[in-house]
Structure 1
């Protein structure tokens, strides 16, 4: 699957990233992690802290899949609001999901002092604004539920918004304790630290076949084998080519990054910005003085069609940015890209085991909070592999929308 189109920005922010060899022999491990994006990076790092003998493989170069197109917004709030989660899953489960996201953002912020490559992890607040006056009542209800359950959020009226931003909206929630990061640098920093801690990392190493045995899984690559007791599949949206989830949906999404600004517009605390409309637009700044705008989601097409759509969708995103901040009129873009993006029907990611794949676990952080979901997954799965019971996994069950399938002994990709 070709995941990205256009010109993604992050490679230029890390001039000499660490490199790793291809696998050319047989190795044994406690856990094999397949995929060196943000999910695999976080899982490998957490496994290294637990002392598990771990191997990480990536069929491309590290960080060159969906993580290369990630826009790096890290938020407690989700595409599905706390109110909607509590209505759909029950108050206890809906709140648990948001509490897990809150803890995950906090844990990502804590990484800044523990990693050797600066990942530009910066605390930020978020402004979620009402796209139309009709959205104000739902926004107020969301505010009441957030505050009642201990989340740091304020309800802002139109006058308050206009006092600190270049735009005015009918209402907004201003929430604290979110963050931003450079996703490419974060992936490399996590994997480099994991390698320092003993994880064996192999790039340009594609899994060709898996044999499921009584004691574990044998992964065959072009020039080697990995004999593992457990596997964590962290293949992102490409998981759908390997194991189709009926509750998952893939689409195209788009983003742009401007050239560095000489000065910023009226933008309170350089907060993350997003809206109540679905699909939504979102905006953030970067430490280099740039602006990222994203959204304009549309149905999944072939990569060639997406290549063409990058041009028109990028212009539409630029128009939206200039509409919010009129003083930016004439601003120039430096990067424009389109990518595959995944979501689920019920708004929760898929994390955990699947009956068709013994000794295996999956990280499918589908939704607008994929990096946060990856941190949740890394913690839950590494604890599970270490023998600790994590009942929170029930919330993210891979079979919650599908009947279990019979076990099988071999899978060829």
Structure 2
């Protein structure tokens, strides 16, 4: 699957990144991780802390797939509001989902002190603004729901929004506890630390097929075999080529990074910006005073058509930036790209075992919070592999139906 189109900015910010060999020969391990993006990197890092014998393989360069197109917004709030999660899954599960995301953000914010490569993780606030006046009531309800369950949220009226930004919107929710990152550097930093902790990393190593046995899995590659007690598939959206998840949907999405600005526009705390419309637009700044904008989601098309659509869709994104911040009119986009993006119909990612794949687990962090989902999955699956029960996985079951799942009994 061709995951990305156009010109992406991140690799240029880290040209001296580590490189790893291809696998030659046969090896054994307790856990094989397939995929060197954010999901695989998070899993490898977490397993390195437990001392498990671990191997990670990636068929491309490390961070060369969807993580290369990631725009680096890290948020507690989800594409699906807490109010909507409670309405769909029940109060216990809805709140549990948001609490897990909050815990994941906390762990992400601790990473700069634990990793050796600068991840460019920076704490940020977020502003979710009403796209239309009709959405104000939705925001007010979400504000009340978030506060009732211990999440930080401030309801801002139109005057307060205008006082803090160049634009005016009917209302907004301001929240703290989020962050931004350079996803390319973050993946490399996690894998570098995992490697120094004993995880064996192999790039340009493609799995050709698997054999499932009573005591584990044999992974065949082009130049060797891996005998693993367990396998974690962290292949992102390409998982849908291996097995189809009925609740998953793949689409095209687009993003730009502007040229550097001599001075940023009126932009409170360089907060992450997004809107109530679905599909939504989102915006952030970078350390070098550029603006990243993303969205313009559309039905998945063949890669050749996406290549053609990149320029027109990114021009629309540039116009959206200029509409919000008239001060930057004429700035231009230095990078324009399109990518495959995955969502689920019920708004929850997939993670955990699958009945058709013995000794195997999957990380499918589909949705706008993929990095946070990867951290959640790494924690839950590492505990599971160590023999500790994590009933939270029931919420993200790969075989879940459209019906609300029973609230898992989570130990305090």
Smaller-chain TM-score range?
Answer: over 0.9
The answer for the alignment partner of 1:405 in structure 2 is none
CA distance in 2: counterparts of 1:346 and 1:369, whole angstroms: 14
> What are the Cα deviations for residues 326-363 of structure 1, in whole angstroms up to 9, with x where unaligned?
11110121100000000000000000000000000000
Gaps of 5+ in 1: 403-413
1:109 aligned onto 2:109: yes
Which residue of structure 1 aligns with residue 260 of structure 2? 260
Which whole-Å deviations, capped at 9, do the CAs of 1:14-52 have from their partners, x for residues lacking one? 011100000011000000000000000000000000110
Asked if 1:20 is matched to 2:30, the reply is no
Q: Does 1:295 align with 2:306?
A: no
Distance 1:16 1:219 in 2: 31
1:176-228 residue CA offsets vs partner (Å, 9 max, x unmatched): 00000100000000000000000000000000010000000000000000000
Q: In structure 1, what is the Cα distance between the partners aligned to 2:68 and 2:38?
A: 10
Q: Give the secondary-structure state (helix, strand or coil) at the position aligned to 1:298.
A: strand
**1:239 deviation in Å?**
0.1
Match of 1:65 in 2: 65
Q: TM-score, normalised by structure 2?
A: 0.97
Counting only pairs closer than 5 Å after superposition, residues 327-338 of structure 1 correspond to structure 2 as 327-338=327-338
Query: Structure 1 segments of 4 or more deviating over 3 A?
Result: none
Q: Is the 8 A contact 1:121 1:180 kept in 2?
A: yes
Provide the aligned C-alpha RMSD in A. Answer: 0.9
CA distance in 2, matches of 1:129, 1:135: 9
Question: Could you tell me which residue of structure 1 aligns to residue 396 of structure 2?
Answer: 396
- TM normalised by structure 1 equals 0.97
Q: Is the 8 A contact 1:246 1:401 kept in 2?
A: no
Matching of residues 348-363 of structure 1 within 5 Å:
348-363=348-363
Partners of 1:333 and 1:83 lie apart in 2 by 36
Deviation at 1:288, TM superposition (A): 1.3
2:206 aligned residue: 206
1:103-252 matches, cutoff 5 A: 103-252=103-252
Count of matched residue positions in the alignment of Structure 1 and Structure 2: 403
SS in 2 for 1:378: helix
Is 2:317 the partner of 1:314?
no
Tell me the CA shift for residue 401 of structure 1: 2.9
Post-superposition CA distance 1:139-188 (Å, at most 9, x none):
00000000111111100000000001000000000000000010000000
Measure the CA separation in 1 of the matches of 2:220 and 2:22: 13
Q: Hey, what does 1:35 align to over in structure 2?
A: 35
